[in-house]
Amino acid sequence: MDHERIAVLAHEKFPDRAKTALGVLRYGDQDVRAVLDRDRAGDRVSDHVADVGDAPIVASFEEAHAAADGDLDALYIGIAPIGGGFDESWRSDVEAAIEAGCDVVSGLHYFLNEDEELAALADDHGVDLVDVREPDDDLTVATGASGDVDADVLLSVGTDCSVGKMTASLEIVAAARERGIDAAFVPTGQTGIMIAGWGNPIDRVVSDFAAGAVEDMLAEVGDDHDLLVVEGQGSIVHPAYSAVTCGILHGSMADGLVLCHAAGREVVHGYEEFALPPLADYVDLYQDLAAPVHEASVVAGAVNTKTIDEDEAAAEAVAAFADETGVPAIDPVRHGADAVVDAALDAGLGAVDAADADSEVDGEEAAE
């Protein structure tokens, strides 16, 4: 996305149920000038979330436009509800954004470009409606090409949906780069695509093409980096989203897995009649499912402890996860992702091997 100054719509959901808004605030390059949430109008982002850019929370787009002194490029829809539908109570804000000359970026399954009224209004005002969940129209089945890329591949997988797989992936990339590793983030969901500006929305791809869509992304960037960190989706035990999880697992042909979990989560989010299996079971589940296509080990865990206030209690939750799963673990937001990078390096992922390093040196000497 090339938008510099944006407002983010998160009505009645900010911050706890607006992960797209939070993701853009925390990791996007965009300057967020205002957040729309009619329930929290008059507050500021900093009243609810630490360690992200601050902005006023307002009740409508008109107020966001005024708060930004009319200097806005786009309105981002920062909510991703189950089912991805469009709430009609948002229409007036979307229309106001279009009429103000702003693009509208949406990660919903409901495509704004297929809404005749909004599409006509956007055409009249010369702005773009960007449906990031609309897949490329030339996708096809996987061929196994992911196994041929030069980069090592690390995939975040989850015990459930909404446990922090995207966040963990981005934190791992940042930590790896700090260590001098040429790492890149591979986005597979709407929020990741909004942040990175590219990617395939795997949960919108025809099932037969899901693995191929992941493969296409790895083939595009896999020879340009030492480590690719692929954003996972859903969970292999999720009653609704397991298909997309499997598609990413097999399409990425990952070399290593990072198991992500929300501390204290015992049932499936939104499907509370389904209990989560014991944490140790996930290690075998993911490794066994990956093995027929490409062997991959769970090398580390990322534990989301945002619901735990006390640092000591959070550390205890992370330690309990590590004990149960048998892999090193960390909360990548609270403590940084260096421990995950260490585990990946210990597994031989992301490091330039000695032969390659010697070859580069020889090449430089020959050039001199």
User: Structure tokens of 165?
Assistant: 């797989």
User: Structure tokens of 368?
Assistant: 């001199």
Instruction: Give the C-alpha separation, 352 to 289, whole Å.
Output: 28
pLDDT for position 83: 78
pLDDT for position 53: 92
Nearest-CA neighbor of 302 among 181, 160, 167? 167
Residue 104 bridge partners (DSSP): 75, 129
Instruction: Give the C-alpha separation, 23 to 52, whole Å.
Output: 10
User: Structure tokens of 356?
Assistant: 């390659």
Q: Which residues in the chain show pLDDT less than 70?
A: 1, 352-368
User: Structure tokens of 320?
Assistant: 């309990």
The model's pLDDT over 120-159, given as tens digits with 9 standing for 90+, comes to 999 999 999 999 999 988 999 999 999 999 999 999 999 9
Nearest-CA neighbor of 228 among 348, 350, 125, 59? 350
Radius of gyration for the chain, computed over Cα atoms and rounded to the nearest angstrom: 21
**Is 257 strand, coil or helix?**
strand
Q: Are 103 and 127 in contact (CB under 8 A)?
A: yes
Instruction: Give the C-alpha separation, 297 to 193, whole Å.
Output: 27
Instruction: Give the C-alpha separation, 169 to 148, whole Å.
Output: 22
Beta strands in 82-160 (DSSP E): 103-106, 129-131, 152-158
Measured N-to-C along each axis, helices 19-27 and 165-178 cross at an angle, to the nearest 10 degrees, of 10
Whether the full predicted model's pTM is greater than 0.75, yes or no, is yes
| C-alpha dihedral (163, 270, 27, 215), degrees to nearest 10 | 80
Instruction: Give the C-alpha separation, 196 to 123, whole Å.
Output: 26
pLDDT for position 352: 58
Helix or strand (DSSP H, E) at 193: helix 190-196
